[in-house]
Each structure stands twice: as C-alpha cells, then as structure tokens.
Amino acid sequence: MALGDKLDQRVARFVARKRLIDAGDAILAGFSGGADSTFLLDWLWRFRRKYRVEVGAAHVDHRLRGEESDADARACRAFCEERGIPFFLERVEPKALASERGLSLEEACRELRYDAFERIAAREGFTKIATGHNLSDLAETTLFRFLKGAGLAGLGGVAPKRGKVIRPALDVAKEDIRAALEERGAAYALDSTNADLSFPRNAIRREIIPVIRARVNPSFERATARSAELAAETARVFEERIVEPFRLKATSFVSGTLRFSIDAARDEEDVVAREALRGAVRDGFGAELGYDDLARVIELAEKQTGASLSLPEGIRATRDRIYILIERIADRPTLDDLEVELAPGEVVALGDVRVSATLVSTSEASVSEDPRVEYVDAGRFAGKPRLRRIREGETFTPLGMRGAKKLSDFLTDEKIPTNERDRQTVVADDRGAVWVVGRRIAERVKITEETKTIWRMEAFRA
C-alpha cells in the first residue's frame, strides 16, 4: 500500500476515534499552501462525499514576505479553482497588532489568523474550522510549553477539537505528510520564515528535536503525543473533580468584580487555588494569567487590607477584608472628572447610578430608613448641586458629627470594599459633598425648623 493511502486511513481512523466530523458539516480548512494544509485540504476534498460534508478553504496573508506571500495566495487560489473548492482570502497586519498589544510576531499572526477563520466561517455559514496541525506540531508545542514552565493543562499539547476548530491530521508526522505529497506529485509552498531561527518554534524544530531523536528517542513525536494525552486526561479529571468544586465555593462575580475568598484560599492547596483562579479570570475577563501572576494574587491573602497589584491585560487585584477583588481597570467608566447637574423633577445618571430630585413640602419630609432616600435642606446648597465621583482628599462633615472627615476615611469606617471607594458617587455643591449617595448626608444640609425648601433625593441602579 502506498504511503499516501496509509496516511488517508490513519486520518480517517483518528477522525472516527475523536469524533471530529459529522454528516452535514460545512468545513472551512485553513490553507496556507504549505505541506500540512495542502495534505489536509486535499484529504477533506477527496473524502467529502464519504462524510457528506461541504469543504471551503481560507488563506490568510500575513504580509510578511512581499512577493513570496502574493505568490502563495495565487497558488492557493489556483489549487482551489482546479477542484472547485470555494476559496476565501484575507490580508492582515500582524506587525501592527504585535506592537499594539506587546505580542511576539508569532502570537500576533496566530491570533489574527484564527480571527479571520472565525469571521469567514460565520459569514459563509461554515460549522467547523479545520487546521493542518500534525503529530510533529503537537510534539513541538508540548516541548515548547514544557520549556516555558507550563502546567498539566498546557502540557496537554494541541487538542484534536476545541470549539468549532478540528485538527484531523494530528496523528500523522510532518515528514510522512511531505513524503506522501511527493509520492502523489502534489506541489506545496515552502515558507522561508520557517528557516528563521529567531522564532523559538523554528529553533526547537530544526535544532533541538533532531538531537533528541538522534540521541534519546527516535520515536520522540509519538512518545510526546502519548505524554500529552495523559497530561490532558489528568488535567481534565483534576479540573472536574477538584478544581471546579473549589472554584464554585471560593469565587463569585459581583458587578463585574471577581471576588476570591481569602479563607477558602488559605484552606486549600496552592495548586488548586491557582487553577481555580486561572479559570475564573479566563471566564470572567477572557485573560490568561501565568503561574507567577497567579502566585502573586494568592500571596495578597497575607498582605494588609488595601494592598494591590497590577496584572497583564489591564487587570488589577486588591486585598480587601475577606476577599481578593479582581477587576479589569480598562472596563471602568472614565467618569472621575464628569459632573451632572441635578435639578428638581429630573433624573440624572453617572455610570450605572441614577439619582432623582423632587421638591416636597415640610409635611412630606421624614427620616428615611432606606439609605437610597434622603431629605435635605435645599436652601443650604452653595451653588447648583451636581452628581459626581468622590475626589482624592475630599472632606465632609457627616450627619450627626461636628468635625470634618475625609471621605475615604468615612467609607473605610463604613466598611465599603476597597475597589468600590473610588467609584463612590456624591451629590455635591460648590462647598463639597452634601450626600454620599446611599450612605449619609452632610450635617450642613439637614432639615431644621428654619428649613423652607426641601428636596427628596433617591438613588437607584440602572
């Protein structure tokens, strides 16, 4: 049996074992024109009737190799036109993304490539996205992650299926793929950047793995794939049986802030706490924190209240009294300098806080037990009242007190969580706060026997 036929059968067995393809699927194949993606697209096209699927191809031009990139795009289009395969081309700018986001060029290319695949699939109605990752890619990725200090989940290598992305050729070695294409006389592109040893994966592929195969294990790829599968299975059981139950107990989301219980973290093994925190941050903010960052967050449990640290992707962690509070700073509304004038008969808004003001008679005024409602002497206002955020160093005299007090100290005494203090809204006039919204009014605007004009103010959330 020819090598190509053997590989066809190996791919078919892997697809069946991993349940990668269903009848009726519309599969968009990532098609660079290189050996791996050419082998995969050719296989999908030849077996489309057996699996009763539709097949299309997406080529993403990263604009890194000038005329060579243009030639690859033309060759890919010609390959597809010869077979009647729907062809889609997108051009991206990875250098700009890498500079903007602080990513490596490899990372930027990968992110933009998958984004393009997702856009094309959504626009054209494809149900799955197939990529040409193979056994050698899996071994390279697992070794690369090991050298970077990955945990069990990271050592799981390249998944056969993740979401709508499938990798049918993951059980076939790269050298066998190239041999099979040459056996069939199929042309494929050679990417000159694959020889650039400044890319870490190229160095692993061209310099490190050959030494391992020659001196340690000739079957390095298959041995590594087996280890990766065991790591992935172990990670799955660990996640389902241990991490997830702890995460449900130790974490919660309130108004966009992740709360991580300090007591729960102290009572659990660090490895469980780290993985629970990693998953919660990923699900809540779409961010991936590494080992060192996760360890720093957990160490906040032993710091003083108010201690905080900055994390990647605009995330901040703060040690509160009973929680470690995690939020994305960039998600906060930039409302610190905004003021909204308040007048009777109106409802004004600042972020998700709404405040209404109503003129009422003396007989309608009363002491409210609802902290969201206050009655004040509007005749004591100095200028027009406005709704705004508190300001650093600002003071006021709370109702029932004689001396002025810093608003920050007042909020601390009221046991307001650290991450909420700088978002506290106030109704203020030219002299400062007259109502710390939802907390207390100022002594100077309380209703007395001399009061003539009374406002009823009420706060509520949008």
Q: Answer with the residue of higher pLDDT: 105 or 33.
A: 33
Helix 35-46 × helix 3-18 angle, to 10°: 80
pLDDT at position 297: 93
Give the tens place of pLDDT for each residue, 354-399: 899 999 888 887 777 788 899 999 999 998 899 988 887 888 899 9
Is the confidence at residue 462, as pLDDT, over 70?
A: no
Q: What is the mean pLDDT of residues 153-173?
A: 91
Give Cα 293 to chain centroid, integer Å: 15
Asked if the model's pLDDT at residue 448 lies above 50, the reply is: yes
Q: Average the pLDDT over 258-265 and give the result.
A: 93
Parse the chain into domains and list their residue ranges.
3-228, 255-331, 340-461
Class of domain 340-461: alpha beta
**What is the tens place of the pLDDT at every residue in 119-131?**
999 999 999 999 9
Residue 65 has a pLDDT of: 80
Residues with Cβ within 8 Å of 32's Cβ and at least 6 positions away in sequence, in order, are 59, 60, 72, 76, 132, 189, 191
CA distance 357 to 371: 15
Q: End-to-end distance of the chain based on CA atoms, in angstroms?
A: 69
pLDDT at residue 193, rounded to an integer: 67
Residue 75, pLDDT score: 93
Tell me the pLDDT band of 44, cut-offs 50, 70 and 90: very high
Mean pLDDT across 317-341: 77
- The larger pLDDT score, comparing residue 14 to residue 150, is at 14
Mean pLDDT of 5-28: 96
- E-state strands within 250-313: 251-254, 257-261, 308-311
Question: How far is residue 248 from each of residues 146, 185, 240, 261, 435, measured CA to CA in Å?
Answer: 29, 56, 11, 11, 37
Query: How confident is the model over 33-46, as a mean pLDDT?
Result: 96
What is the average per-residue pLDDT within 73-82?
Answer: 94
In angstroms, the Cα distances linking 287 to 5, 85, 270, 312 are 43, 37, 20, 8
Position 240 confidence tier, pLDDT thresholds 50, 70, 90: very high
Q: Which residue has the tokens 């993985």?
A: 275
With contact defined as beta carbons under 8 Å apart, do 40 and 14 qualify? no
Q: Is 90 exceeded by the pLDDT of residue 197?
A: no
Confidence label for 336 from pLDDT (cuts 50, 70 and 90): low
Per-chain mean pLDDT for the chain: 89
Per-residue pLDDT at 335: 54
Farthest-apart Cα atoms in the chain, separation: 104
- Residue 379: how many other CB atoms lie within 10 Å: 12
Q: Residue 56: which pLDDT band, with cuts at 50, 70 and 90? A: very high
Asked if residue 333 has pLDDT above 70, the reply is: no
The DSSP bridge partners found for residue 257 are 254
For 280-313, the pLDDT digits (tens) are: 998 888 888 888 899 999 999 999 888 888 888 7
Tell if the pTM clears 0.95, that is, is over it: no
Percentage above 90 pLDDT, the chain = 54
CATH 1.20.1250.20 fits 255-331, yes or no: no
Strand segments, DSSP code E, in 176-335 are 251-254, 257-261, 308-311, 315-319, 323-328
Q: What is the pLDDT of residue 332?
A: 47
Instruction: Provide mean pLDDT across the span 191-199.
Output: 73
Averaged over 247-264, what is the pLDDT?
A: 91
Q: Which residue has the higher pLDDT, 89 or 336?
A: 89
The token pair that represents 334 in the structure block: 């930039």
The residues, ordered by sequence, that sit 6+ positions from 279 with a Cβ below 8 Å of its Cβ are 239, 243, 244, 247
Statement: 3-228 belongs to CATH 3.40.50.740: no
Would the pLDDT of 196 be above 80? no
